[in-house]
Each structure stands twice: as C-alpha cells, then as structure tokens.
Amino acid sequence: MKKNHIVILFLFIIGIGTFFAFFNGQNVPDTKVQAGAGVVSFEKVLDQISRTWMSGASQLEQATVKKCTKEEIPNTFYQCNPDFLKCALQDKVLHGYRINLSKHGKEFKIYSKSEESDGNWPDYALLVELKNIEDPKLSREILLTDECRSLYLPRRVYHYGKLTQKWNWDNFDRHIFVDKHVVTNRDIREWVDQTEVKNIKFNESELHLPSLYLTSEQMENFCRYRGKKVLKAEVFDAISILPFDNAVVDRAQEFNSIVPWSRKEQSVSKAWQKIKKDPCKKAVSSECKLEEKELAHFRNPSWTGHYMVMGGYLEYMVNMIHPRRNLKVSSMYFERLSPWFRLGERAFWDGDGFSFRNFNWRGEDPLKEFRNFGVTFRCMKEQYYHESF
C-alpha cells in the first residue's frame, strides 16, 4: 500500500486539505490529499463511508438493510463491522468513486499494529480502496479505525471486589478503554482469516453470538491482535458497580451496589423482588427464555454503558489481585437467586477446558442439567499519559 495514498479516518472528517487522527492517545502522521478537481466529491464519499461504518444499518436504505442484516440482531453488531460494510458498499459508486474492500487476496484487509512490522499503524484498521471512475490519479486508500467497540472509563477512585474487601484503586494517571460487548464468533472468524492462526474454535453459523471456546491463552492472543489485552478484574468491577455518589471521584465510596441497576439494596432476593416486570431485562438467568439467553450480550448496559456485567454468559478476566477469582459466574447456568448473582463474586476457571472439572465453583455449583460451559471474554486498552504524546 502506497503511503502517499493513505487517508486515515477517525469518527468524522476534519478537513480535506490535511487529515489527522488521534487513536486513543496515539498520534498518527497526517497525509496530504491532492487538491483540485474531485476534492469535494472525495470529501462527500469519505463522509458517507464513515457514517455507514460508525452507524451500521441505521442510516441505510431498506433494501440494503434487508440484504445485509438479520432482524433479530441489534444494530450495534453491525457498527464498525467489516462484513457489514462490504455487504453494504462493495462495488457501489458514491460521488464518482467505486468502493472496493477486497484486497490482498482477502474479502477485506485488516491492518493491526500487532501484525505489521513496519510503519506507525493504528492498533486496528480496515483498508478501503476508493477508485475514481473518471481519473485514476484521484483514487485513494483509506483506513477505518474501530471507534464503536470501546468506551472510556471515567477517571475516579474505584473499589475492587465485595465491600468487605478493602481494596481501592484509581485511574487518574491513565486512559482506560473497555469493550462494550464480549467478543463474538464474527470477531474470531475475522482473526482466523486475517492471521491464519490455527486450532481456533468458533461457531461459523452463529456469528453474532459470543465466542465460547477459546482458551485463556488464545483470548490473550486475540486481544493482542486488536491492540489490547483481556479485561482486568478490578476494571470489570469499575464498569459494573454503581457509584453511590457520582459526584465523588477522589475517594472510595461508602457503599457498593450488589446489582448493576440499584445503589440501595444489599440483599439479592430483595433486589429481585423490586423487579415487578421482565426480570430478564435486568440480568439473564436460567429462568429466561432461549432467545433472551442467546442475546444476553446485547442486553442490560451498566452505568458505564457496558453490556452483560451480570447474568448471561460466564466471563473470564485476568485477576492479578486474587488469581483464583477470575470468572464472572452469574449466568444462564444459575437461578437468579443464586449467591453468584452479586457483583464482586467470582469463581475460578483454569483457562484450558470447558467441562465441570475445569472450574472451581466454591461449593455453589451450576444447575445439574449443565455439564459443559462456554466462557466469554472482552478486551480493554490501558494507556498511561506519558504514552499519549
């Protein structure tokens, strides 16, 4: 790819003479765009592509939406999704430019800093070719970064674990970005296709569902491909536990929420009793319907906007404080009155397999009908201030 033909997009178009991007604190050199004829149309096509990339199906014609999406799958799945963008725009002509995503012998080409040895690349970006149908000299290649997946963790003092554990920490000296959703089968298929990594299990027929059968080592490798690492346990608590007072950021909170939707209740049974209608909208447990279980990772955002912090699927995280407490257990494998449905409670997964013997449930075992268990995960990025410049 010729460097003088690269334009990097970040959320919106800043200016047509010079483009500049700021990737989670990392500066990327600006690239001049040829002035003169075609500049206005080029600006328009960039704007339309970036809107489609960031917005998913929400701004497209119904015929395209019907062709490229499934009705039951939420739109967030299609945001910053190379498969969806290819379906929606491949070979279309926008303002005099034909869109091409098929590059380097692949359906689409992802540039990942972990995979590219030369150049100052963003952590993760999709390559898109814009072919000018009248003047090939005006053709360009652009990189689209994924700004849909992660949310910024507010800077404040946080509590780790249950309130009885006197362990507080803060992120005043760093930027932390956490993925909103757990990793899906689509994400894993892309990783396999782009890097040709071997012996990776994923469900090809249910790409929108969570990845369930990676080892902990494979999870780390996937997050590294994305320029990130597996979520830490204390950060999981930060996105899950409601601050008792949002205005207090410089000291530990007096009380911890035990469920992600209430600051007050300190009893699991009382917290559920107050949910008069549709408790599965709060957290997916064994009592919920099949479709609610399958789409649990798109439900129930926490106070920070992160999904499925309680209920749904088992979720692995790295715990350097208590290594044998690395698994969020509240899930479809337990009834909602189980002691596991309480924030800060974690079991142990050995990271190698998915049968009963690979877990230590600490005496609070899953329902007897379950003997095999899938484990999800999500990624995060942590960057200290001195690395931002």
Pure H helices in 226-360: 233-240, 268-273, 290-294
When pLDDT is averaged across residues 106-123 and rounded to a whole number, the result is: 84
Q: Is the pLDDT of residue 358 over 60?
A: yes
Least confident residue range of 4-8, 163-167, 247-251, 333-337:
4-8
Rounded CA separation 244/345 (Å): 19
Residue among 388, 384, 353 nearest 371 (CA): 353
Rounded CA separation 119/110 (Å): 15
pLDDT at position 388, please?
54
**Nearest 5°: phi and psi at 381?**
-130, 140
Rounded CA separation 211/184 (Å): 5
Residue among 94, 50, 53 nearest 75 (CA): 53
Q: What is the mean pLDDT of the chain?
A: 87
Q: Is the pLDDT of residue 260 over 90?
A: yes
Better-predicted residue by pLDDT, 46 or 39: 46
pLDDT at position 276, please?
82
Q: Name residue 210's beta-bridge partners.
A: 184
When pLDDT is averaged across residues 154-159 and rounded to a whole number, the result is: 94
Residue among 236, 175, 237, 211 nearest 25 (CA): 175
Residue among 106, 128, 122 nearest 196 (CA): 106
Better-predicted residue by pLDDT, 171 or 26: 171
List domains and CATH numbers for the chain: 37-145 (no CATH), 150-383 (3.90.1580.10)
pLDDT at position 81, please?
97
pLDDT at position 387, please?
64
Q: What is the 3-state secondary structure (H, E, C) of 128-144?
A: EEEEECCCHHHCEEEEE
Q: Is the pLDDT of residue 337 over 90?
A: yes
